[in-house]
Amino acid sequence: MAIDHLKTIKDDVAVNLAGETLGNWTFRNDLFDLLRSNPELCPRLWFEVPQYGAFKHFEAFKELCRSLKELGCHVGVEYFGQRLSESEKLIELGLDYIKLHPSLVQGISTNLGNQEFVKRFCDIAHNMGIIVIAVGVRTKEDLDELKVLGVDAATGPIVNQ
């Protein structure tokens, strides 16, 4: 569906993959056959996997990242922040972007601990060329603070106003 949609628009398209699909070789083979038959569209495709699924199936995700990047696609992790103890593994993936979990974002204008974490994380991510996106931003105060902390983009109710 994403490939067909890309043929009718000029914008990029993001595709969310469930963690369970990472080890499904039939799905992966079909996906790569489709991408190889449409190489001109690959740079406009952004694939993301929830952090939990990426770590649960880490080796399969690592291979998926490598293969997608070779085709020119972008790869990211969403809901980052749920498993911080394993976050160093993300460095070896060559990710293009990371979406912060809403629990790190909501109320950040008054949460000094989350502010410090997000600021440091943005610094590290940017040094590796990774875009940081905040998910679930609800207030203008939080959006303003996220910009100060170095977040590159945001989604949520306040962004759509």
DSSP characters over 34-77: HHHT-TTTGGGEEEEEEHHHHHHTHHHHHHHHHHHHHTT-EEEE
- For residue 76, the cross-strand partners are 48, 97
Helix residue spans in the chain (DSSP H): 2-6, 25-36, 51-56, 58-70, 102-105, 112-127, 140-149
- Give the sign of the dihedral formed by CA 66, CA 72, CA 73, CA 79: positive
pLDDT for 33 equals 96
Residue 76: which pLDDT band, with cuts at 50, 70 and 90?
very high
Give the number of other Cβ atoms within 10 Å of residue 28's Cβ. 17
Instruction: Tell which wins on pLDDT, 11 or 90.
Output: 11
Instruction: Supply the pTM of this predicted model.
Output: 0.89
- Tokens 């993001």 -> residue: 14
Which tokens go with 66? 């490598």
77 pLDDT higher than 80:
yes
The strand pair at 97-100 and 131-134 is best described as parallel
- Mean of all residue pLDDT scores within the chain: 92
Q: For residue 5, what are its two tokens?
A: 């949609």
